[in-house]
Amino acid sequence: MTEETPGFEEKPDVPSGATPDDAEPKAADSSEEETAAPAGDLDPTVGLTAQLDQVRTALGERTADLQRLQAEYQNYRRRVERDRVAVKEVAVANLLSELLPVLDDVGRAREHGELVGGFKSVAESMETVVAKLGLQQFGKEGEPFDPTIHEALMHSYAPDVTETTCVAILQPGYRIGERTIRPARVAVAEPQPGATPAAAKEEKTDDEESGGTEEV
C-alpha cells in the first residue's frame, strides 16, 4: 500500500514547453464553441417558414380543385337545363303536330260558316290551349315567298308582282318559337318573263313626262 503524503496533490501531466495555465483557456474556448454551435440548429423560424410554404402550397391546390369542381358543376347544371328544355320542346312539338289536321278542319269550317254552336266553343277552347303551348300560325297572301318557311304547291306568272310572291295560302304554317312545325303551303306567282316591273314603268313614265315639258 502506498502512503499518501499529506498536503500533496497530484497535478496533470503538462507537455514540455507548456505551463498548466496555457491548457485551461483552450478548454474554455472549446466549451464555448460547443455551446454556440447548437444555437444555429435550434433557430425556430426556419422550420416554421418551411411548414408555412407547405401549407400555402396545399391551400392553393385545394382551392384550384374546388374552383374546377364548381365550374364542372355549373356546366353540368346548364347542360341538364338545356336538355330538359329541348326534350320539352320536342314533346310539345310532337303533340301539336298530331293536332294540326284538326286545326285545319276547324279553319275550313270557319271559312264556310260551319263553326257554330257547341262545335264553335270546343274549337275556340282548343285554339286557346295550343296558343298557350306556344303554337303560332303564319302565312299571308301577298308576302314574299321564303323557301325556308313556305312550300310552293302551285306556280303561275302575274304582271303585277315584282318578285316571287305568295298569292294564295292553301294551308297555313305553324311554328313554336323558332322551330317550324309545318311550312305554309302556298301558291306563288312570278313576274312574267320579259315584262317590265310596274314600279319601273311608273318611273319611266314620270321621266318621259318631265322630259316632255322641258324647254330646249
What confidence tens digit (pLDDT) does each residue in 63-84 have?
999 999 999 999 999 999 999 9
Instruction: Identify the architecture of domain 136-197 in CATH.
Output: Roll (2.30)
Give the burial class of 139: count Cβ atoms within 10 A of its Cβ; 0-12 exposed, 13-18 middle, 19 or more buried. buried
The span from the CA of 213 to the CA of 205, in Å, is 13
Grid cell 317550324 — which residue? 180
pTM given for the model: 0.56
On whether the CB atoms of residues 183 and 100 are closer than 8 A, the answer is no
Query: In the structure, what pLDDT confidence band is assigned to residue 1 with cuts at 50, 70 and 90?
Result: very low
Nearest CA-CA partner of 150 in 178, 179, 172 = 172
pLDDT of residue 86: 87
* 163-176 as b/e: b if 16+ CB within 10 A: ebbbbebebbbbbb
Which has more pLDDT, 139 or 19? 139
Percentage, residues of the chain above pLDDT 90: 49
Angle at the Cα of 135 from the Cα atoms of 133 and 140, rounded to 5 degrees: 160
> What stretches of the chain show up as alpha helix (H) in DSSP?
20-41, 44-111, 117-132, 198-213
pLDDT of residue 10: 52
**What's the pLDDT tens digit per position in 12-60?**
554 555 454 554 544 445 444 444 445 445 567 877 888 888 888 899 9
Which residues lie below 8 Å from residue 164, measured CB to CB, with a gap of 6+?
144, 145, 188, 189, 190
**What's the pLDDT tens digit per position in 83-94?**
998 898 889 999
CB atoms within 10 A of CB 89: 14
Query: Is residue 143 over pLDDT 50?
Result: yes
- Lowest-confidence segment of 49-53, 177-181, 212-216 by average pLDDT: 212-216
pLDDT of residue 78: 93
pLDDT of residue 101: 93
